[in-house]
Chain A
Amino acid sequence: MTNLELQKMANEVRKGIVTGVHAAKAGHPGGSLSAADIYTYLYFEEMNIDPKDPKKADRDRFVLSKGHTAPGLYSTLANRGYFPVEDLVTLRKLGSYLQGHPCMQHVPGVDMSSGSLGQGISVACGIALGAKMSNADYRVYTLLGDGEIEEGQVWEASMFAGHRKLDNLCVIVDNNGLQIDGKIEDVCSPYPIDKKFEAFNFHVINLADAHDFDQIRAAFKEARETKGMPTAIIAHSLKGKGVSFMEGSVDWHGKAPNDEEYAVAMADLEKIAQQLA
């Protein structure tokens, strides 16, 4: 896909995020919106996947370690054709397959259940190791929050990935700088993130603008071509990206817009759509 096509699709993904969270009256829009371009690039460009055959054996795998940004994953999967976009409004509702955090048994395209922070990266390492043991050449991607990396298990997993030279593993840290209690450097700073992963024997790519598809494309290409060590992409992003009043605001980490706010948010995204048209 061209960058313009990717931008348009990412904007549709953002509409789905806002619509789902609004309908649910709860959920996590901020970190879903900050990662929307990454999600879009992975599912529309980078990964070898087939929405018609979600479990095909040689598919690339994705583990959403920051499981609370399920609205971003769901909207991406829906727009990619795994299930109807109309279902996004059932998010978090009783009886819906779109649970608050991803459940692999019920959502086509979800490779692993997640939600408890720090665990997804370990599972991604296990899948990557299993692929190597089976001489399979699929790749494994996992998306983490920058607050999430305060969990010690992330570094247990990183030590393992570096030690085992899991070059079929690509860790992405959505570095939007904010967590529930405030700025990550104020709460319990994980910085420097790049140097930490380097110390754990990762190839580290600083993705300066996680909303620029040229840069995203280059980063994932570099990751794919890196042999002998796992890659960590530190994706510098804007929390709430695309919705004016959510951008850079910690208040929108885990809160749903009311009807008026929803109208403003959708107008913001519609405006972007028109600019891209």
Chain B
Amino acid sequence: MADVKTSKVVSKVATRESYGNALVEIGKENPNLVVLDADLAAATKTGVFKKAFPERHIDCGIAECNMTGIAAGLSLTGKIPFMSSFAMFAAGRAFEQVRNSIGYPHLNVKIGATHAGITVGEDGASHQCNEDIALMRTIPGMVVMCPADDVEAKAAVRAAVEYEGPVYIRFGRAAVPVINDRPDYKFEIGKGTVVREGTDVTIVATGICVDSALGAAEMLEKDGISAEVINICTIKPLDEEIIINSAKKTGKVVTAEEHSVIGGLGSAVCDALCKSYPTPVCKIGMQDTFGESGSAAALVEKYKLDAKGVYEQVKTFLA
């Protein structure tokens, strides 16, 4: 269980950095691990892998659709390919290739999608992918993960290597606080974690919004509201049990994600609740809108994905 104070730790790492570092670490152990890029190795942070294992790094040039097929083909020869690009291009541009060349044949390809969500920042809406979770979770058999911090991102990469089948992992550009740095931390695909216990409202969060939810929970506590915070790294398959059990306790659920409220974590949580334990849900995320240029901090504040934004929306929901 995370102490409330953990959201105040100073250590900050972008999960894309964690991605590159994890690949190097696992690459030392597993000779079948190969990494693909589409001219963005410097940005996806796989550059460290390229440096460590140049013969196992394949730069496909600016051609994400082809990269998807190359990864599929490599997996058919026993390699474990991680294809890397920005979420916009890996899940967006190459969606149909991911569906047909990886998803349909259920190939052992891992998609490392960096620069997800609005914290891409200054590049603006063309590069801020708020749709990738929605797209990827519609593909049968695709595991979809969105780690919250450095610890979880590294664990997710390792779990993806150990898992046989297609996996999509979403990483961010901006440095985010490390919140899972504790000795008893364990990661399992498909398992959520209660990171703060509460009784009045459940906040189910993923990615950078886990930290925001923890911050919001602290603010809510000062108002006498006890919020339970659940970290969902694996959006598919979803840990329905942990969400339903919490909903039974609190009776009110809020979801928080750096993604469109259409088709993402919020939708997945609603799917789970409506069939087993119908509960009022407030979905926090990008409200059917494109992002814009600005610093990551300014954007999460404007689009109410920071602690204050989550706090305010929970208060409105409970009012």
Contact = CB atoms under 8 A, between A and B. Distances in A.
Contact of A122 (B55, B70, B96): B70
B60 A136 contact: no
B78 A134 contact: yes
B74 A119 contact: no
Interface string B40-83: 00000000000000011010110101101111111111110100
A126 to B, nearest CB: 2
B79 A123 contact: no
Given A129-B58, A134-B78, A122 B65 contact: yes
Interface residues of B, number: 29
Given A131-B77, A153-B69, A123 B61 contact: no
B77 A160 contact: no
Contact of B105 (A104, A121, A125, A128): A104
Interface in A113-129: 113, 115-116, 118-129
A159 interface: yes
Contacts of B71: 126
Given A104-B105, A116-B100, A122-B101, A160 B70 contact: yes
Which applies to chain A's interface (DSSP): helix, strand, loop or mixed? helix
A277 interface: no
A133 interface: yes
A5 interface: no
B69 A129 contact: no
A130 B81 CA distance: 10
Contacts, number: 106
A133 B33 CA distance: 12
B105 A119 contact: no
A83 to B, nearest CB: 19
Contact of B72 (A126, A131, A160): A126
B70 A126 contact: yes
A115 B103 CA distance: 13
Nearest to A142: B73
B308 interface: no
Which of A118, A127, A156: most chain B Cβ within 10 A?
A156
B68 A122 contact: yes
A77 B100 CA distance: 23
A136 B65 contact: no
Nearest to B68: A122
Contacts of A126: 69-77, 81
A42 interface: no
B22 interface: no
Interface residues of A, number: 33
A160 B65 CA distance: 12
A122 B74 CA distance: 10
A111 B107 CA distance: 12
A246 interface: no
Nearest to A157: B66
Nearest to B76: A127
B66 A156 contact: yes
A167 B105 CA distance: 26
A84 B232 CA distance: 48
Given A105-B105, A125-B73, A153 B66 contact: yes
B7 to A, nearest CB: 43
A113 B99 CA distance: 11
Contacts of B56: 133
Nearest to B69: A122
A130 B63 contact: no
A135 to B, nearest CB: 11
6 nearest CB pairs, A to B: A126-B73, A122-B69, A130-B77, A156-B66, A156-B63, A126-B70
25 contacts: A61-B76, A104-B105, A112-B73, A113-B105, A118-B65, A120-B69, A122-B65, A122-B73, A123-B72, A125-B73, A126-B69, A126-B71, A126-B73, A127-B74, A129-B70, A130-B77, A130-B78, A131-B77, A133-B74, A134-B79, A153-B65, A156-B63, A157-B69, A159-B63, A159-B66
Given A111-B76, A116-B96, A122-B66, 12 more contacts: A103-B104, A116-B97, A122-B101, A123-B72, A126-B69, A126-B77, A133-B34, A134-B77, A153-B66, A156-B63, A157-B66, A159-B61
Interface of B: 34, 55-56, 58, 60-61, 63, 65-66, 68-79, 81, 96-97, 100-101, 104-106
